[in-house]
Amino acid sequence: MRDQFDREIEYMRISVTDRCNLRCQYCMPATGVKHLLHSEILSYEEILQIVRAAARLGVHKIRVTGGEPLVRRGIIDFIRQLKATEGIDKVVITTNGVLLDEMAADLLDAGIDGVNLSLDTLDAAEFHRITGKDGLESVLKALDTLLAAPTCKVKVNCVPIRGFNEDGLMDVAGLARDRAISVRFIELMPVGFAFEQGMRGIPMTRVEQLLQERYGPFRAEGDGLPKGDAGPARYVRPMNFQGELGFIDALGHKFCASCNRVRLTADGFLKLCLNARTGLDLKALLRQGADAAEIEEKMRTAIYRKPREHYFLEKTHDEADTRRMYQVGG
Ligand code: SAM
Ligand code: SF4
């Protein structure tokens, strides 16, 4: 469907849990996290009811995220059910990859179309410092297992943070030298735990400059502009790289005018913009007994009102959301 600003909304990102097996310093506090109770999160059947309504409204791509989606019990069957939902043609997942090696075969069997792997360093000690846990070796093993699967598109996502993971960025980019994958750098959003701690992202122009110093000049992929399925990333390819490097700078270059997505939080709130509280409490509707037609109609009205743009760079705005990234899913 089209919203009030004539944007085609065709993509839903679903957070299936606010729990995580890592504690990335910029995302989640190391201790004292208050998680949702099991009764507060949507059941898989409730999520599927929402997905069926979304599909009737024109959503055809689903991203499963978290917290860490692979820690939720039953996730493989849930992905299989998403894939079987009429109107849904693409189901992808965003994961920290720690459980991916043991689950890769089942995910592929369930029909997963793509995996975005979040990885901020290639150094095991750094990995432990950033995430609070070990696990890098298994993440890298899973990456290569998935790369061998022709039906699954793999991307690596890395968030460059000033004074935090600068040294390791270049090595993460190097994953695309010998592998036909996209390594994307994503600007740190001034939200949630990162923001509360005063963390700031490295501007993408600076990341690009550092990469060119290390790997030589880039050539843009196509026209270098965000396009089609690529989402908001701009892609380049250093000479003698098999894969490509992508940059997503949501703050510097607003892509709100072509935004095609909505988000569903683990506790059942349909979020219309990463930066705004605005949305629809679908859990309340479902648990009050709303039928499929009512769910669809309320979603249609809510999505139509999707805000025009984010206001991350304004100091305050009335609609700002206070949810943290692990509660929304990125
Ligand atoms: N646990 C999964 C993972 O790490 O891929 C999925 C959820 S995690 C919240 C999704 C993505 O959000 C990760 O790639 C993480 O690096 C990113 N992220 C967390 N906080 C962020 C922030 N303030 N700005 C931008 N990205 C952030
Ligand atoms: Fe967990 Fe992902 Fe947040 Fe890291 S970024 S703490 S893996 S939810």
Whose structure tokens read 């890395």?
158
Q: Which ligand lies nearest to the CA atom of residue 116 in the structure?
A: 1
The answer as to whether 107 is a domain residue is yes
Cα–ligand 1 centroid distance for 69 (angstroms): 12
The CATH number assigned to the domain holding 166 equals: 3.20.20.70
The alpha carbons of the chain give a radius of gyration, in whole angstroms, of 19
The whole-number pLDDT of residue 61 equals: 98
Gap between the Cα atoms of 224 and 204, Å rounded: 14
The answer as to whether 133 is a domain residue is yes
How, if at all, do strands 11-15 and 279-281 pair? Answer: unpaired
Task: Please check whether residue 197 is in contact with residue 35, taking contact to mean a CB–CB distance below 8 angstroms.
Answer: no
The answer as to whether 142 is a domain residue is yes
Nearest to 82 by CA among 115, 56, 60: 60
CB of 329 sitting under 6 A from ligand 1: yes
Gap between the Cα atoms of 49 and 203, Å rounded: 40
Query: What average pLDDT does the structure give for the chain?
Result: 91
The whole-number pLDDT of residue 47 equals: 98
The answer as to whether 2 is a domain residue is no
Atom of ligand 2 nearest to the CA of 96: 7
The whole-number pLDDT of residue 153 equals: 95
The whole-number pLDDT of residue 133 equals: 96
Cα–ligand 1 centroid distance for 292 (angstroms): 32
Whether the per-residue pLDDT at 328 is higher than 80: the answer is no
Cα–ligand 1 centroid distance for 96 (angstroms): 9
Task: Please check whether residue 60 is in contact with residue 90, taking contact to mean a CB–CB distance below 8 angstroms.
Answer: yes
Residue 147, phi-psi category: left (phi > 0), alpha (psi -120 to 50), beta (remainder): alpha
Stated as kind and residue range, the H or E segment containing 199 is none
* Least confident segment among 12-21, 102-111, 116-125, 302-311: 302-311
* Least confident segment among 59-73, 128-142, 240-254, 308-322: 308-322
Cα–ligand 2 centroid distance for 136 (angstroms): 14
Reported as a single tens digit per residue, the pLDDT across 204-220 is: 999 999 999 999 988 77
The whole-number pLDDT of residue 210 equals: 93
Whether the per-residue pLDDT at 275 is higher than 50: the answer is yes
Cα–ligand 1 centroid distance for 17 (angstroms): 13
The whole-number pLDDT of residue 228 equals: 46
Count the domains in the chain.
Answer: 1
The answer as to whether 3 is a domain residue is no
How, if at all, do strands 90-95 and 61-65 pair? Answer: parallel
Ligand 1 atom 12, closest CA: 330
Atom of ligand 2 nearest to the CA of 67: 8
Ligand 1 atom 26, closest CA: 188
The whole-number pLDDT of residue 224 equals: 54
The answer as to whether 97 is a domain residue is yes
Classified as helix, coil or strand, 78 is: helix
Reported as a single tens digit per residue, the pLDDT across 54-107 is: 999 999 999 999 999 999 999 999 999 999 999 999 999 999 999 999 999 999
Which tokens hold the place of 155? 């991307």
Which tokens hold the place of 235? 């892609």
Which of 13, 26, 146 to probe ligand 1 with, by most ligand atoms within 8 A of CB?
Answer: 26
Ligand 2 atom 8, closest CA: 67
Tell me the residue range of the domain where 146 lies.
Answer: 11-328
The answer as to whether 1 is a domain residue is no
Cα–ligand 2 centroid distance for 33 (angstroms): 13
The answer as to whether 174 is a domain residue is yes
